[in-house]
Amino acid sequence: MKRKNSPFKIVVVVTLVIVALIIALVVISNNNSESDQGMTFEKQPSTEGQPTLGDTNAPVTVVEFGDFKCPACKVWGTDIFPQLVSDYVDTGKVKFSFINVLFHGQESKLGSLAAETVYKQNPNAYWDFHKALFKEQPSENHDSSWITTEKILEVASTVPEINTDKLKAAIENNSEINEVNKDSELVTEFNVEVTPTIMVNGKVMEDPYDYDAIQKAIEDALEEN
Ligand code: CA
């Protein structure tokens, strides 16, 4: 006896279709949440007015969206950055810019404000201050409060080119807040959701710790030039 179109069969088919749809939706939404990883923006973030290391005419631009409060950024700065600098920045192939991200609230904002102020005061002092401030990030309990004006002035006093009195006054007056806000606009514009986000000529690195992939992106970009 044929049991064509039995109610049971229909229920099974409908259930399978629903399950398939749910799986498809989950896959699509997962892909969307990672959509900026590995993608390339047609227009890369403007580095005008940003602290930039290397030859300003270098053919390739690497941008870091980072946060002084972010432990992963500190690790990137010690494990990847020096290699990038010696291989590509020092050889004139890459210029490197740092854009502030304020994912850790008030302390991120204070650190960024201080860094922007140092940059404004003396661009040559910026990278030493940048490195010294990251160095102060505690290796444990990084969520504990550590970016304070006192800490900033202590760090700044180790960099000879910085006038700490002027720095203190400028921080208290929020003098460079527009630069901090400009960076936040770039974070929104480029949909930055994780720090560090590393871009090579607008291409977002899927894994910022994969130096081979960064190298490949740079070499590809050099060939396009
Ligand atoms: Ca900036």
Query: 115 vs 55, 108, 124, CA distance in Å?
Result: 21, 10, 12
> Does 35 score more than 50 pLDDT?
no
34 pLDDT band, cuts 50/70/90, is very low
Ligand 1 center–CA 35 separation, angstroms: 25
Q: Is 100 exposed, middle or buried (0-12, 13-18, 19+ CB in 10 A)?
A: buried
Ligand 1 center–CA 180 separation, angstroms: 6
> Does 15 score more than 80 pLDDT?
no
Ligand 1 center–CA 203 separation, angstroms: 19
- Mind listing the pLDDT tens digit for each residue in 74-94? 999 999 999 999 999 999 999
Ligand 1 center–CA 218 separation, angstroms: 23
Average pLDDT, the chain: 91
The predicted structure's pLDDT at residue 20: 74
Q: Show Cβ contacts of residue 100 under 8 Å, excluding neighbours closer than 6 positions.
A: 66, 67, 108, 111, 112, 115, 116, 180, 183, 184
Ligand 1 center–CA 215 separation, angstroms: 25
User: What domains can be seen in the chain, in order of their start residue?
Assistant: 60-224 (3.40.30.10)
The neighbouring-strand residues paired with 56 are none
Ligand 1 center–CA 54 separation, angstroms: 16
Quick check: pTM over 0.75?
A: yes
